[in-house]
Amino acid sequence: MTRRSAGRAALRLLAWLPVYGLLAGSAAVVMFPLYMTVVDSLQPIAKFLTFPPDFWPHTPVWSNYRAAMTSIPMPRYMANSLIMATVITVGEVVTAALAAYAFAFMRFPFRTPLFFLFLSTMMVPWEISIIPNFQTIQRLNWLDTYQGLTVPFLATAFGTFLLRQHFMSLPRELKDAADIDGYGDLRFLLSVVVPLSRAALATLAVFAFLQAWNQYLWPLLVTNDPNMRTVQIGIASLQSEEVQRTNVVLAGTIVALLPMLVLVIGFQRFLVRGLTAGALKG
Amino acid sequence: MSGEATVGRRAGSRRAQAIRQTVAAAPFLLPSLVLFAVFVFYPLVRSIWLGFHATDPFGRNEVWVGTAQYHDVLTSSDFRHSLLVTGQFALYTVIPATAIGLYLALLSHRRLPGIVVFRTIFSSTVATSVAVSSVVWLLMLNPSVGVLNYILGKGGVPTESWLTSPTWALPAVAMTTVWMNIGFATIVILAGLQNIPEELYESARVDGAGRWSEFLHITLPGLSPTLLFVSVVGVIFAFESFGQIQILTQGGPLGATNVIVYSIYREAFLHYNIGLASAQAVVLFVIVLLLTLLQFGVARRWVFYR
């Protein structure tokens, strides 16, 4: 009997074989561009400019990665991106949590119109405001500074909306009990609401960090000093400046991508929740 | 105590309460409101205003020129060309990315051993930035040593100088964008699939429905809000695209990839034509707004919401 069930399991697996074939084939196609980038990042430069291309690094040059961290300013770029993305993430979480708290727990005049005013900012694509915003940053003397890179992004309507939806799902009795205990609003937010909202806050944080790290247009506009370049601007400009070291630049590209791959895979659950927040609302 | 006095006092205390509430809420709302005022609302008004003014090449000495620049933008063949290119770019990116996302999501939706690995791989391109994917594809698309031409050559297909060909540059840039957006589409569509109640499939199976009929009558209607969301976001992404153009083609060859945002960037930051660029930005804003409203208007008519 066990043999028969084992046989049936094997048969079922056999039936799924074409599906696994499709899955593996599709995965190979999706991963192919990144795979080739890794292969080329391990090639010696002489091999790099030859045809036909190699699909396997026969003599992997691991020192390309060391060169990426020493002979081009990758560490500086990475640090700039890390500082920028961290400041934006913390800022977005704080401003969004405060505003979402007001919309979910406080009563005040014009609450609904104000909420719609917040939401309306999502209808204004950032690319449309780049000229006046560039002028503002220029007038503040914030070009080539971390303020210039971060301050315009410290508030988020999407994050406020996301957190408000979650705060509204918390039981009302919590607020009543906190009122009786004489908790002020800030204390209630910090000691009750925040601990109960870790997943929602993490969703916003993952989302904000990924977006900030991957920004391109704004950092390109507000930084001229090579020391202030973010990693995205860095690899894009090195790619055209360092033609003789394309393999090293590609190693740098992989290094720039890795933290985000880890973030996306490690926090997949939160990311999915954030990405679908708009879709499932209907 | 007269009735009037009570009413007056009540109104007074209500006003006092409103003031108290406003004062309490202000610290929570002001950080966001101030930032939105400075970096979203003011720029919108300022862009419209700049569109009515011409400047010297340093962006100074604004002179009122009325609607001339808006008129120029709306009638110039360059801007119409940009608009057409952007529309084509939206078409070339949204339809393939949504279709591929749907295919990958359907493929990895089944419960199978090891399926998580495939889901992760399919959604992984969400981590890639526009700069990373452009650098990656620049290599693939290289006309002499690139892998794409090598593979096409093996298949007997004529090779191309992808990024310098007026015919192929836009599809090539679109292809890199599709690859970058597949992850997002797959993640969202997978979540949409999980939201379709299993009972619908069970009752369909009882009725003897085939796989194709299940897909047509349950999966597709159940996914329609998700597919709409993915395509709306995709169209908006397309209209906001910049990085891949700046890195791969700089709007060329012969303006073949000169999408609107790149055109705004070039007018404002390379030619210092602030007024004209602002007028273009305002027109772009109106277009994106109309597109969003239109798509949601269409959605109300045919999308199936539970």
Predicted local confidence at residue B2, as pLDDT: 52
Cα(A159)–Cα(A59) distance, rounded to whole angstroms?
48
What is the value of ipTM here, to two decimals? 0.88
Domain residue limits, chain A: 2-65, 68-276
CB B141 within 8 A of CB B163: yes
Tell me the CA distances in angstroms from B84 to A133, B79, B251, one per residue in order: 27, 9, 13
User: pLDDT category, A1, cuts 50, 70, 90?
Assistant: very low
Predicted local confidence at residue B1, as pLDDT: 46
Q: Which amino acid is at A146?
A: Y
Residue-wise pLDDT for A222-234, tens only, equals 999 989 999 999 9
User: pLDDT category, A3, cuts 50, 70, 90?
Assistant: low
Q: Cα dihedral angle (A57, A58, A59, A64), rounded to 10 degrees?
A: 0
User: pLDDT category, B40, cuts 50, 70, 90?
Assistant: very high
Are A265 and B124 within 8 A, CB to CB?
Answer: yes
User: pLDDT category, B305, cuts 50, 70, 90?
Assistant: very low
Predicted local confidence at residue B5, as pLDDT: 58
CB atoms within 10 A of CB A229: 23
Q: Which residues of B touch A104 (CB under 8 A)?
A: none
Residue-wise pLDDT for A177-200, tens only, equals 988 888 899 999 999 999 999 989
Contact map slice: A 217-246 vs B, CB within 8 A: 217, 220-221, 232-233, 235-236, 239, 246
Q: Which residues of A touch B44 (CB under 8 A)?
A: 124, 128-129
Q: Does A56 touch chain B (CB under 8 A)?
A: no
Q: Which amino acid is at A189?
A: L
Mutate to test the interface with A, among B73, B115, B132, B230 (most CBs of A within 10 A): B132
Q: Which residues of B touch A20 (CB under 8 A)?
A: 112
Residue-wise pLDDT for A81-121, tens only, equals 999 999 999 999 999 999 999 999 999 999 999 999 998 88
State which CATH number among 1.10.3720.10, 1.10.10.10, 3.40.640.10, 3.90.180.10 fits the domain covering B71-302: 1.10.3720.10
Could you give the 3-state DSSP secondary structure of residue A51?
A: coil
Cα(B204)–Cα(A144) distance, rounded to whole angstroms?
61
CATH code for the part of the protein at A68-276:
1.10.3720.10
For residues B41-68, average pLDDT: 84
Predicted local confidence at residue B65, as pLDDT: 83
Predicted local confidence at residue B6, as pLDDT: 61
Considering only CA atoms, give the Rg of chain A.
25
- B239 compared with A59, residue with greater pLDDT: B239
Which residue among A131, A257, A265 places its CB closest to the CB of B268? A131
Average pLDDT, chain B: 87
- B174 compared with B302, residue with greater pLDDT: B174
Predicted local confidence at residue A84, as pLDDT: 97
Predicted local confidence at residue A114, as pLDDT: 95
Nearest to A201 by CA among A270, A275, A101, A278: A270
Is the pLDDT at A281 greater than 60? The verdict is no
* Listed range (A220-234, B85-99, B153-167) with the worst mean pLDDT: B153-167
Nearest to B183 by CA among B234, B255, B258: B234
User: pLDDT category, B59, cuts 50, 70, 90?
Assistant: low
Residue-wise pLDDT for A139-183, tens only, equals 999 999 999 999 999 999 989 999 998 999 899 889 889 888 888
Domain residue limits, chain B: 3-51, 71-302
Is the pLDDT at B198 greater than 60? The verdict is yes
Nearest to A27 by CA among B183, B209, B158: B183
Predicted local confidence at residue A280, as pLDDT: 41
For residues B43-69, average pLDDT: 83
Is the pLDDT at B114 greater than 60? The verdict is yes
Tell me the CA distances in angstroms from A132 to A123, A269, B177, one per residue in order: 17, 37, 28
For residues B125-142, average pLDDT: 93
Residue-wise pLDDT for A11-63, tens only, equals 777 888 888 999 999 999 999 999 999 999 998 887 776 777 888 888 888 88
Could you give the 3-state DSSP secondary structure of residue B64?
A: strand
Which residue among A109, A136, A264 places its CB closest to the CB of B127? A264
Residue-wise pLDDT for B265-290, tens only, equals 999 999 888 888 999 999 999 988 88
Q: Report the gap between the CA of B6 and the closest CA in chain A (Å).
A: 23
Are B285 and A125 within 8 A, CB to CB?
Answer: yes
Q: Does A211 touch chain B (CB under 8 A)?
A: no
Global pTM value = 0.89
Which residue among B24, B39, B136 places its CB closest to the CB of A106? B24
